[in-house]
Amino acid sequence: DAIVEGNTLLERIADAKKALETANIVAAADITSENVKLDEQAILTAAKTDLQDALDTYSENYTTEEKDAIQEKISRINAALVTISNVEQVIADVAALPEVDKADMEDAKVREAVSNAEDAYSVLSYYEKTLVDNNTKDMEESIGKGYILTREVFGLNDKTRPYAERWIKWANENPDK
């Protein structure tokens, strides 16, 4: 009986160790909020699930230090997921802007959309801003009445470039609006 129980415990300990070595966890091991890429959301989410499942299933087999290390990994993954969410929100805000040639800057909704995009961008960390736009960020012309359009605000990447370039062109051509 003692040998069977011992072998069962050894198998459980081995399973607990394997539970922390899934392909998802290994793939996400070096991803942080300061190096995450937008296309890594799925792997991070899967790794977080695997870590949480390991904690839930094998909690009694981990030491306090091991549990703390698992929680730290989950916290690191959560921070990376927040980075992705923040950047995706800015991209969505920019994409929600009306086309420049159809926009009326006297319209409160248009001004609000521009303001939302600016506000969302302004609270991003430096790294998050690089995810929105890996190009040089330089100030463009004012579109008047305190509304500033910048390449920095509208992040020129593949998803936002068509919207941003139209807004910047319009701002430069219509400084009095």
Residue among 78, 66, 87 nearest 31 (CA) = 78
Decide: helix, strand or coil at residue 142.
strand
Q: Identity (one letter) of the amino acid at 144?
A: G
Between helix 2-19 and helix 41-58 the angle, nearest 10°, is 160
pLDDT of amino acid 104:
72
pLDDT of amino acid 176:
55
pLDDT of amino acid 32:
96
pLDDT of amino acid 122:
82
pLDDT of amino acid 165:
59
pLDDT of amino acid 65:
97
Distance separating alpha carbons of residues 154 and 116, to the nearest angstrom: 11
Q: Identity (one letter) of the amino acid at 68?
A: D
pLDDT of amino acid 140:
29
pLDDT of amino acid 89:
85
E-state strands within 72-131: none
Q: Identity (one letter) of the amino acid at 156?
A: L
Residue 51 in contact with residue 25, Cβ under 8 Å?
yes
Residue 177 in contact with residue 144, Cβ under 8 Å?
yes
Distance separating alpha carbons of residues 93 and 84, to the nearest angstrom: 14
Average pLDDT per consecutive 10 residues, the chain (177 residues; last block may be shorter):
88 91 96 94 98 95 95 98 90 71 73 80 85 43 36 49 59 57
Name every residue whose Cβ is closer than 8 Å to that of residue 123 and which is 6 or more positions away in sequence: 86
pLDDT of amino acid 143:
32
Cβ neighbourhood burial of 8 (10 Å; 0-12, 13-18, 19+): exposed
